[in-house]
Amino acid sequence: MRPAATWAAGPSLNPNPGPGPVRSPRPVRAAGRCSPRSRAAPRSSPTPSPSGGATGCAGASCASRSTTARGSAEAWLEEQARSEGWSRAERLRGRRATQGLVGLLQDRGLAVMVEVNCETDFVARNEEFQRLLQQAVLGTMAHCQGRAEPLAAPAKHFLQSEELLQLRAEPHGARLGDQVALAIGKLGENLRLRRAAWLAVPAGCHIGTYVHGAPPRVPPAPAVAMGKYGALVACAPAEPGAEAALRDVGRKVAQHVVGMAPRSLGSAEDEPVGEAETRLLAQSFLLEPAVTLGAFARAQRVNVLDFVRFECGEEAEAAP
C-alpha cells in the first residue's frame, strides 16, 4: 500500500483568513519564460555584403550604383551651371570686353594663336579665364590638325567667333561655346572668343613665335604661351646650309612684328619711308635700327614668307 503524501505546512495565500470565500492563488510564471503578448519579435539580421558591409547588396553593385548616382548628380549640376551661364551671357552681351589674353601653341610645322576677351585685367589673371583660353587654343589646334594637307607654300587661315564657339578641345568634350557659358557664370563678366589664326608651313620651313606681356599666373598646360601680344612668322632657308639659322632668325623677326606692328609683308626691294613704314621687310629692324628687316634676313640667308600678329583688344583687320 502506497504511503500517503505528506504536505508541508506553509503560509496561507488568503490575506484575510476566516469566514468567507477563499481566493484561488494566482498562477506563478515559470522563470525564464514570458507570455506570448510580451514576447518581442526577433530582429532580422541584414545580409552581409561581400565587401563587409550590411547593405544587403553585392559590393560591386552598390559601388556601381553609387558611382552612377554621383555621376548623374555632377552632370546635372554642370548642366545647371551651363544654363545659368548662358542666361548671364545673354544679360552681359552688350558690355564692352577689350581686356584678355592671346594664347599660342606650336606643333612642328603648325602654329595657332587665339584671342579671348574679358572686361577687366583682373579677370584675365584669373586661373578660370586662363583655363578657358587654353581650351580654346587646344580646340583650334585639333581643328587645324584635322584639316592638315601636304603644302607647297605657307598657308594662313583665320577663324572668327562663331566658328570658334563650335570647336571642341577633345573629340567628345563640351563645345567651346558651352565652356564660355560656364566661365561667364563663374566669373560674372562678359567673355568672348574673339578670333583665331593658324599658320602652316611645308617641310624644310620654320615658324618663329613670340608672345609678350605674359600674365603673372599661368596654370600648367601643354606648351600654351600667353600674353597681351603674339606673332607667328613663316620663314625658309634662302640657300642650302642656312637651316641652322631659321630658329634664331624666326624668333627675332617675331619679336620685331610684335614691337613694330607691320600691316603687310612687302618685299626686300621696297624703299623704306621712315617711321610711318608699315611693310615688314622695309621697316627698320627693331634690334638693329640701322638696317631694314629685309636686309637683316638676307644677311642671315633666310627668307621671311608670311606673318600674323595679334594684339589683345585691338580694332584690327582680320588679316594683315
Helix 59-92 / helix 176-187 crossing angle, nearest 10 deg: 80
More confident residue, 65 or 189: 189
Q: What is the pLDDT of residue 216?
A: 78
Ordered by where they begin, the domains of the chain are 75-311 (3.30.479.20)
How many CB atoms lie under 10 A from the CB of residue 193?
A: 28
pLDDT at 148: 78
Q: Is the pLDDT of residue 63 over 70?
A: no
Residue 110: per-residue pLDDT: 96
Per-residue pLDDT at 121: 93
Greatest mean pLDDT among 28-42, 69-83, 94-108, 297-311: 297-311
Sheet containing strand 206-212, strands side by side:
206-212, 229-237, 302-311
- pLDDT surpassing 80 at residue 171: yes
At 295 the pLDDT is 96
Q: Which tens digit of pLDDT belongs to each residue from 107-153?
A: 989 999 999 999 999 999 999 999 999 999 999 999 999 887 889 99
Average pLDDT score over the chain: 80
At residue 9 the predicted structure's pLDDT band, cuts being 50, 70 and 90, is: very low
pLDDT band at 50 (very low <50, low <70, confident <90, very high): very low
What's the mean pLDDT in 42-69? 51
In the chain, alpha helices (H): 59-92, 121-124, 127-146, 161-164, 176-187, 246-260, 293-299
Q: What pLDDT does 11 receive?
A: 45
Q: Tell whether the model's pLDDT for residue 1 goes beyond 50.
A: no
pTM of the model: 0.72
- What is residue 163's three-state secondary structure? helix
Q: How far is it, in rounded angstroms, from Cα 281 to Cα 151?
A: 24
Tell me the per-residue pLDDT of 201-219, one tens digit each, with 9 for 90 and over: 999 999 999 999 988 766 6
pLDDT value of position 274: 87
Q: Please name the amino acid found at residue 136.
A: A
Query: Residue 10: what pLDDT?
Result: 45
Q: Of the given ranges (6-20, 55-69, 144-158, 258-272), which has the lowest mean pLDDT?
A: 6-20
